[in-house]
Amino acid sequence: MAPISIKRILISESVDPCCKKILQENGIQVTEKQNMSKDDLIAEIKDYDGLVVRSATKVTADVINAAGNLKIIGRAGTGVDNVDVDAATIKGIIVMNTPSGNTISAAELTCTLLMSLSRHVPQAAMSMKAGNWDRKKFMGAEMYGKILGIVGLGRIGKEVASRMQSFGMKTIGYDPITPPEVTATWGVEQMSLEQLWPKCDYITVHTPLMPSTAGLLNDTSFAKCKKGVKVVNCARGGIIDEDALLRALESRQCGGAGLDVFVEEPPKNRALVNHPNVISCPHLGASTKEAQARCGQDIALQIVDMVMGKSLVGAVTRNHSEGLTQGACEVEISVNGCSYRATGSVQGGVPVLLELNHSVFRQPVSLTGNLLFFKAVASPPLLPSVTGFLATAGVEMESFSAPAARSGDQWYCVGLSSLLGDLGALKPLVKAAAQVSV
């Protein structure tokens, strides 16, 4: 890709100091201004080529349209819910995020809420501080032998599964993209949502917020669950219908909820927060020193690589000079000296690949993490052979995307735990291969 000139960047939130340091070391002037109102940001943004945010800054169409020089919006975190990606797309502004920076922190908070729900830890602590000794009031339940349903089996869902399996929980799940044969290697049995709801003792959600996931847990789905099911949401507010959740809590169909995210933040309707069976946090999923350092470093390095023309990592849009059209885009990816034509789009804030060199994927490929693309003739032994090769190389398969066509040479995509050291060893199995970190 061609280098992009970025001379001045505004950081509008508290981002780890390493972000500013890395940018300045690479010749970029950085200004930090926190707690700006929308009008302040609109007045300020016209002087900058780049903007770095976390989740509090709302980069609306009004902000984007006021930015005459803006070329890059970088979110130091996962997802771009607080950025109007469509408005940025129209103006040719690149939007990027750091998809893996807070994985461990979000997974650990999810597990913390699951355990706290099981043993009523926050409520018991508050009771003790009030001078009480209510042993009988806070009778809990073991997690051992219970069934945990994980809706969304990406990076965070996988990490939650691995940690809760160590407690002896059985993990089941649902994901429309990651194949069942892949999640089976993590110890997660996949099934439809209709099959999953009635089996779960606990449910945790780890999906983006998009039309297909909004209100995923609602009155209808709660009615299909076990009575007393406990739910956790450390992903995005709105995946669990808040009104339906309150009704389920009051009827005791839901036995408790751990909520780190809300539709409105901070929530003005306090009914859920104040419910005795709800444990709530003020959106702390990425609030660890390690996650913030990782996200700050990642976004700075991604911007520097883009400025230097080295790579475009974590981007959910590309600028007009690189072939962007509204809604979908066709780009040319150069890997190891070879060019590949790819068609993709942004779905619910998540960049996805739809087609590669005329191979149309059955399900959109989520463009995050380490991806291996290979061309081969479809055959029953293909997937086992590739899986065996990866196991020998010490690399885990995190996802598998197959083409819609079932004959001839087609492109496949495999999500990897880490990039392969040597693609040459894969040649006996496939006709061509390339890998990229997104």
- Buried b / exposed e over 208-242, threshold 16 CB at 10 Å, is bbeeebbbbbbeebbeebbeebbbbbbbbbbbbbb
Distance, first Cα to last Cα, the chain: 14
User: Do 335 and 393 meet the contact criterion of CB atoms below 8 Å apart?
Assistant: no
Beta strands 50-53; 350-356: pairing state: unpaired
Active-site residues, by number, are 236, 265, 283
User: Do 64 and 88 meet the contact criterion of CB atoms below 8 Å apart?
Assistant: yes
Greatest pairwise CA separation for the chain in angstroms: 73
How far is residue 392's CA from residue 412's CA, in Å, rounded to a whole number? 20
